[in-house]
């Protein structure tokens, strides 16, 4: 790798103009900013990425430069922009570590770079686990410095702008993650300029037909709408001038995804969507906002139930504005429906740039602590420690962060904002854990309701408590919509019912281990458990039992990881001298050793011996195998990495050399597990694919895992297939993974 520490500016650098423009933009926003730091970061990144290309064919440095430019557009400080230039160095270049960045640029830049560095795929058993743990790491870093997520959003924005260069099978998962995680995160932070673009870019790949239909429909009457906007702006400007209100008025079309989403959720055609554009009025003061509202309602007719006051009740992302929908009554505006948004200049800056507009840093100083405007982030930091299952973590993020909000009131009139779909249980735990734990009922608007009743904006909610209550019910975990409430309910059971949770967790782990062909004792060796303790911040096997028992981790998550540790150990065990490793599929003329073939396996010197395949590991042609002489049942053939190898090595004299008979043509049974997004016809499509490959299905079972409210379910399909060898099995797995709705495929011992 080139020496990244040399700082001489290259005069023939093709990116020099882009760098100079970036520095000029930073200097305008931060006259006293450390431009030398940004220049140094660029030179370092340019040398680090030398020779690397993006899939578009462009030099890789174009990507960090684009990220830095977006951060500069958000008026962020030089430290953040330097980190944006360096954000891929640790992830993509082995020789560069977080320590390297800290030595060259200081701890503040290193913290930001480390926060956006994804965790290695090799450390996880599935893409979902990697995604969940990388996001968990990012949120923890956000708790220390919110600028981490601003860099991540700028990074994702440029990746989405260039997504067309990715392989088709990668485009859909990236677009789906963007729409599910990053666009709503931008919404939560109030950065609408990025949110809208991420949504439109995602739609292009998630539903290409729907996207281009929107483009065509919106473009068809563009000139007509532009004329209407001009009339609205002209009439309103004249009336506000007469009222003595200084203002700036602009009109803009609604972005494509918002129209698409409204058509889908409200089951309307494009012609039934009336507010296809919005008019924005910027004024000097809050009183001017309400005065402008009066002028608008005098000029045009208000649509009932379409007025929203986000000034007196700001959204959780700090957004403030007055929204009203009106209908023209005269002239060319007669019958035209449109939305008007009214806010001050300062509110508008927040509406465009969100948290970036409020988060000010001074060079060399630590960021201030999170204030009430980031309450939702503190909640994530609180509950993420109790939500270790990757599926549950992702579901919780979608519900807590990305749902629409409802605003409800306490009996004293205080406002509480919760995600849409929240119940009185969520309200109770938002007020206080003690209120939630003692809750026995609830009233909404003075009427007693069940605890699963969804809350609506404007509801007055009263929690009924009892000092004799024994605490929450486990069923509440299904009724609560927020991760905050679920976390506090689990904490109660974790604290109050330790012994019950430990017993339940042990039973669940034993059942899962047995289902996969192991004993729990076989998997819970101290050296195997160390990886569990490190990954999940646990301290003992009892902690593992309790955590599984109260639902913090799933039994399959623990057992799969322990089984992987066992497989690593057995692979590392040297076989006794009597067993000589045999290369798979030896040449046909190698039969001169006198071995006898049964079921496609040659047993060296064992003519006439019964041969059977071990069910604990189900060896296939292509697997490295060993033979083990059983008592009365002939030779049992095992994979060399079989989980039972350690036990068999206690009697090494019972091993016998075996190898595969070349081109035996025999059929072998192999188990695979497919985890996919649930949909109609999925199993049928898989069956057709296997039939086309001439692979018989010996057995099949499927179960659907219900996801959090309003989210996609997943299905787990276990298949036993008749195949020729491991090569064919690997081909099947690769083909399955190419399908967009399949999340994970792996071989089992079934």
Residues designated catalytic: 91-92
Total Cβ atoms within 10 A of residue 273: 17
Instruction: At 134, give phi and psi (nearest 5°).
Output: -65, -40
Residue ranges in 516-648 assigned as alpha helix (H): 520-523, 526-536, 541-550, 555-572, 645-648
- Residues 135 and 119: their CA atoms lie apart, in Å, by 9
Task: List the end-to-end C-alpha distance of the chain, in Å, as a whole number.
Answer: 47
- Residues 84 and 67: their CA atoms lie apart, in Å, by 6
* Alpha-carbon separation of residue 245 from 240, 293, 310, 357, 720 (angstroms): 5, 11, 21, 25, 75
Closest CA to 646 of 664, 619, 628: 628
Sequence-distant (≥ 6) Cβ neighbours of residue 470 within 8 angstroms:
none
Given strand 668-677, what is the order of strands in its sheet? 697-705, 714-723, 668-677, 742-748
Closest CA to 549 of 492, 496, 502: 502
- Residues 21 and 7: their CA atoms lie apart, in Å, by 19
CB-CB contact of 133 with 119 (8 Å): yes
Angle of helix 498-515 relative to helix 541-550, nearest 10 degrees, comes to 90
What 3-state class would DSSP assign to 502?
helix
Sequence-distant (≥ 6) Cβ neighbours of residue 732 within 8 angstroms:
672, 690, 693, 695, 721, 723
- Residues 737 and 661: their CA atoms lie apart, in Å, by 30
* Alpha-carbon separation of residue 584 from 285, 300, 329, 660, 727 (angstroms): 79, 82, 83, 6, 11
CB-CB contact of 297 with 304 (8 Å): no
Query: Environment class of residue 319 by beta-carbon count within 10 Å: exposed (0-12), middle (13-18) or buried (19+)?
Result: middle
CB-CB contact of 277 with 251 (8 Å): yes
- Residues 165 and 161: their CA atoms lie apart, in Å, by 10
CB-CB contact of 558 with 536 (8 Å): no
What 3-state class would DSSP assign to 326?
strand
Q: How many CA atoms lie within 13 A of 182 on its CB side?
A: 30
Helices (H) and strands (E) counted in the chain, each on its own, are: 32, 22
Tokens of 56: 């578009």
Residue ranges in 551-656 assigned as alpha helix (H): 555-572, 645-648
Query: Which run of H or of E encompasses 382?
Result: helix 375-383
- Residues 437 and 420: their CA atoms lie apart, in Å, by 22
- Residues 597 and 535: their CA atoms lie apart, in Å, by 46
Q: How many CA atoms lie within 13 A of 330 on its CB side?
A: 4
- Residues 52 and 299: their CA atoms lie apart, in Å, by 60
């Amino acid at each position: 790798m080139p020496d990244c520490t040399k700082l001489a500016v290259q005069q023939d650098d093709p990116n020099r103009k882009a760098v100079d423009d970036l520095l000029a933009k930073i200097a305008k926003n931060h006259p006293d900013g450390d431009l030398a730091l940004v220049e140094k970061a660029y030179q370092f990144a340019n040398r680090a990425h030398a020779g690397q290309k993006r899939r578009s064919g462009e030099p890789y440095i174009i990507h960090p430069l684009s990220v830095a430019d977006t951060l500069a557009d958000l008026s962020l400080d030089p430290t953040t922009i330097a980190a944006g230039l360096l954000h891929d160095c640790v992830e993509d270049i082995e020789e560069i570590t977080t320590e390297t960045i800290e030595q060259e640029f200081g701890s503040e830049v290193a913290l930001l770079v480390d926060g956006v560095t994804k965790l290695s795929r090799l450390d996880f058993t599935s893409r979902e686990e990697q995604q969940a743990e990388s996001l968990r790491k990012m949120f923890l870093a956000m708790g220390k410095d919110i600028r981490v997520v601003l860099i991540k959003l700028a990074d994702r924005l440029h990746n989405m702008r260039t997504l067309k260069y990715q392989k088709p099978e990668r485009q859909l998962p990236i677009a789906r993650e963007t729409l599910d995680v990053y666009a709503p995160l931008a919404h939560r932070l109030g950065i609408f300029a990025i949110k809208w673009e991420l949504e439109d870019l995602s739609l292009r790949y998630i539903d290409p037909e729907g996207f281009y239909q929107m483009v065509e429909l919106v473009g068809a009457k563009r000139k007509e709408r532009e004329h209407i906007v001009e009339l609205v702006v002209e009439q309103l400007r004249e009336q506000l001038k007469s009222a003595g209100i200084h203002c700036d008025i602009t009109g803009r079309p609604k972005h494509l995804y918002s129209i698409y989403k409204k058509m889908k959720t409200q089951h309307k055609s494009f012609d039934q969507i009336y507010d296809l554009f919005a008019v924005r009025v910027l004024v000097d003061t809050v009183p001017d906002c309400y005065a402008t509202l009066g002028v608008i309602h005098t000029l045009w007719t208000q649509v009932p139930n379409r007025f929203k006051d986000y000034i007196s009740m700001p959204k959780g992302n700090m957004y403030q504005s007055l929204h009203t929908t009106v209908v023209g009554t005269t002239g060319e505006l007669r019958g035209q429906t449109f939305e008007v948004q009214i806010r001050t200049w300062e509110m508008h800056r927040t509406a465009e740039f969100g948290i970036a507009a409020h988060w000010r840093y001074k060079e060399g100083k630590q960021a201030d602590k999170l204030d009430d405007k980031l309450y939702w982030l503190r909640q994530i930091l609180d509950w993420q420690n109790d939500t270790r299952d990757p599926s549950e973590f992702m579901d919780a993020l979608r519900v807590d962060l990305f749902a629409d909000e409802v605003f409800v009131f306490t009996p004293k009139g205080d406002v509480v904002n919760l995600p849409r779909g929240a119940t009185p249980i969520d309200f109770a735990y938002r007020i206080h854990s003690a209120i939630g734990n003692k809750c026995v009922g609830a009233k909404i608007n003075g009427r007693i309701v069940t605890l699963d009743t969804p809350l609506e904006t404007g509801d007055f909610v009263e929690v009924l408590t009892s000092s004799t209550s024994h605490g929450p019910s486990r069923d509440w975990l299904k009724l609560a919509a927020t991760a905050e409430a679920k976390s506090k309910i689990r904490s109660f059971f974790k604290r109050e019912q330790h012994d019950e949770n430990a017993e339940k967790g042990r039973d669940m782990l034993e059942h899962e281990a047995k289902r996969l062909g192991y004993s729990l004792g076989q998997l819970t060796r101290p050296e195997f458990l160390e990886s569990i303790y490190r990954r999940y911040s646990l301290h003992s096997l009892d902690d593992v039992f309790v955590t599984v028992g109260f639902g913090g981790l799933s039994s399959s998550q623990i057992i799969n990881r322990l089984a992987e540790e066992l497989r690593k150990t057995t692979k590392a065990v040297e076989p006794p001298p009597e067993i000589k490793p045999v290369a798979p599929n030896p040449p046909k003329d190698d039969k001169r050793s006198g071995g006898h073939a049964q079921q496609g396996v040659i047993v060296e010197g064992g003519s006439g011996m019964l041969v059977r395949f071990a069910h604990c590991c189900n060896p296939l042609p292509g697997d490295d195998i060993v033979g083990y002489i059983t008592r009365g049942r002939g030779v049992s053939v095992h994979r060399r990495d079989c989980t039972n190898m350690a036990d068999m090595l206690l009697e090494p004299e019972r091993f016998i050399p075996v190898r595969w008979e070349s081109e035996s043509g025999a059929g072998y049974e192999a188990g695979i597990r497919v985890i996919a997004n649930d949909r109609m016809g999925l199993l049928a499509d898989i069956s057709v694919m296997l039939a086309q490959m001439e692979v018989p299905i010996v057995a099949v079972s499927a179960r659907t895992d219900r996801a959090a409210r309003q989210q996609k379910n997943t299905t787990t399909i276990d298949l036993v297939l008749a195949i020729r060898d491991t090569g064919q099995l690997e081909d099947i797995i690769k083909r399955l993974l190419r399908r967009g709705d399949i999340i994970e495929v792996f071989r089992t011992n079934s």
